Amino acid sequence: MTAKRNLKRFFAPRNVAVVGASATKGRPGRVVIENMRANGYAGNIYPVNPRGGRLLGMKVYKTIEDLPSGIDLAIVILAAQATPQAVRDCAARKIGSIVLVAGGFAEVDHAGEDLQEELARAAHETGVRVLGPNTAGHISTPADFTSSFFPLGKIPKGGISYVAQTGNFTGAMMKHIMSAENYGVARCIGLGNTVDIDETDVFEFLATDKHTDAIFFYLESLRRPRDFIEIARKVTPKKPVIMLKGGATPDGAAAALSHTASLGSDDRILDGALRQAGVVRIDEFSHLFLAAKAAAPMPVPAGNRVGFVSPSGAFIVHISDLCRQRLNLTFPNLTKKTMDRLKEISPPFIRLSNPVDIFPSATVHGMEYAYREAMEAVFKDPNVDAVVSIMILTKELGMPSLDFIPELAAKYPKKPLYISFSGDHACNEEAKAFLEPRGVPTFPLIEDAFKALDILVRAGQALKS
Amino acid sequence: MTAKRNLKRFFAPRNVAVVGASATKGRPGRVVIENMRANGYAGNIYPVNPRGGRLLGMKVYKTIEDLPSGIDLAIVILAAQATPQAVRDCAARKIGSIVLVAGGFAEVDHAGEDLQEELARAAHETGVRVLGPNTAGHISTPADFTSSFFPLGKIPKGGISYVAQTGNFTGAMMKHIMSAENYGVARCIGLGNTVDIDETDVFEFLATDKHTDAIFFYLESLRRPRDFIEIARKVTPKKPVIMLKGGATPDGAAAALSHTASLGSDDRILDGALRQAGVVRIDEFSHLFLAAKAAAPMPVPAGNRVGFVSPSGAFIVHISDLCRQRLNLTFPNLTKKTMDRLKEISPPFIRLSNPVDIFPSATVHGMEYAYREAMEAVFKDPNVDAVVSIMILTKELGMPSLDFIPELAAKYPKKPLYISFSGDHACNEEAKAFLEPRGVPTFPLIEDAFKALDILVRAGQALKS
Mark yes or no for CB contact A445/B355 under 8 Å: no
Q: Distance from CA of residue A379 to its chain's centroid?
A: 28
Q: Are A313 and A439 contained in the same domain?
A: yes
Q: Which residues pair with B388 in a beta bridge?
A: B308, B418
Q: What percent of chain B has pLDDT over 70?
A: 97
Q: What is the pLDDT of residue B409?
A: 98
Name which of A237-246, B214-223, B345-354, B374-383 the model is least confident about. B345-354
Classify residue B300: in a domain, yes or no: no
Asked if pLDDT for residue A264 goes beyond 90, the answer is no
Owning domain of residue B325: 306-464
Q: How far apart are CA B257 and CA B238, in angstroms?
A: 33
Classify residue B110: in a domain, yes or no: yes
> Cβ–Cβ contacts within 10 Å for residue B3, how many?
15
Q: Are B275 and B326 contained in the same domain?
A: no
Q: Are A310 and A291 contained in the same domain?
A: no
Q: Are A197 and A260 contained in the same domain?
A: yes
Q: Are A254 and A388 contained in the same domain?
A: no
pLDDT in tens, B302-324: 999 999 999 999 999 999 999 99
Q: Given B269, B295, B321, which residue is the final one in a domain?
A: B295
Option in A179, A251, A259 nearest B323 (CB): A251
Q: Are A346 and A212 contained in the same domain?
A: no
Chain A residues within 8 A of B175 when measuring between CB atoms:
394, 423-424
Q: In A157-278, which ranges are continuous DSSP H helix?
A: 172-180, 199-207, 225-235, 250-260, 267-276
pLDDT in tens, B251-288: 888 787 777 666 556 777 888 999 999 999 999 999 99
Q: Are A270 and A376 contained in the same domain?
A: no
pLDDT in tens, B343-393: 999 988 778 899 999 998 998 999 999 999 999 999 999 999 999 999 999
A426 touches chain B (CB under 8 A): yes
* Maximum C-alpha span of chain A: 84
Smallest Cα distance from A328 to chain B, Å? 13
Smallest Cα distance from A453 to chain B, Å? 16
Classify residue B342: in a domain, yes or no: yes
A425 touches chain B (CB under 8 A): yes
CA angle B39, B45, B49 (to 5 degrees): 125
Q: How far apart are CA B417 and CA B443, in angstroms?
A: 11
Chain B residues within 8 A of A324 when measuring between CB atoms:
249-252
Q: Which residues pair with A47 in a beta bridge?
A: A18
Asked if pLDDT for residue B5 goes beyond 70, the answer is no
Q: What is the pLDDT of residue B1?
A: 38
Classify residue A300: in a domain, yes or no: no
Classify residue B417: in a domain, yes or no: yes
> Cβ–Cβ contacts within 10 Å for residue B317, how many?
35
Classify residue A301: in a domain, yes or no: no
Chain A residues within 8 A of B349 when measuring between CB atoms:
104, 108-109
Q: Are A172 and A249 contained in the same domain?
A: yes
Counted domains in chain B? 2
Q: Are A169 and A316 contained in the same domain?
A: no
Q: Which residues pair with A146 in a beta bridge?
A: A139
Asked if pLDDT for residue A461 goes beyond 80, the answer is yes
Amino acid identity for residue B192 in this structure = G
pLDDT in tens, A33-89: 999 999 999 999 999 999 999 999 999 999 999 999 999 999 999 999 999 999 999
Q: Is the ipTM of this complex over 0.85?
A: yes
- Average pLDDT in the A127-136 region? 94
Mark yes or no for CB contact B321/A286 under 8 Å: no
Nearest CA in chain B to A390: B172
Report the run of H or E that residue B458 belongs to, with start and end: helix B446-464
Q: Given B295, B316, B346, which residue is the final one in a domain?
A: B295
Q: Are A336 and A285 contained in the same domain?
A: no
Asked if pLDDT for residue B159 goes beyond 70, the answer is yes
Contacts of B263 (CB under 8 A, 6+ apart): B221, B253, B257
Asked if pLDDT for residue A215 goes beyond 90, the answer is yes
Confidence (pTM): 0.95
- Least Cα distance to A134 among A151, A153, A119, A152 occurs for A119
Q: Are A274 and A391 contained in the same domain?
A: no
Classify residue A460: in a domain, yes or no: yes
Query: Which 8-state DSSP code applies to residue B219?
Result: E
Q: What percent of chain A has pLDDT over 70?
A: 97
Classify residue A165: in a domain, yes or no: yes
The chain-wide mean pLDDT, for chain A, equals 93
- Would you call A286 helix, strand, or coil by DSSP? coil
Q: Given B271, B295, B319, which residue is the final one in a domain?
A: B295
Chain A residues within 8 A of B220 when measuring between CB atoms:
314, 317
A200-235 burial, b if ≥16 CB within 10 A, otherwise e? bbbbbbbbebebbbbbbbbbbbbbebebbbebbeeb
B316 touches chain A (CB under 8 A): yes
CA angle B165, B170, B174 (to 5 degrees): 120
- Least Cα distance to B131 among B186, B90, B88, B73 occurs for B73
Q: Are A280 and A315 contained in the same domain?
A: no
- Least Cα distance to A399 among A434, A441, A442, A364 occurs for A434
Q: Looking at residue A165, which CATH number applies to its domain?
A: 3.40.50.261
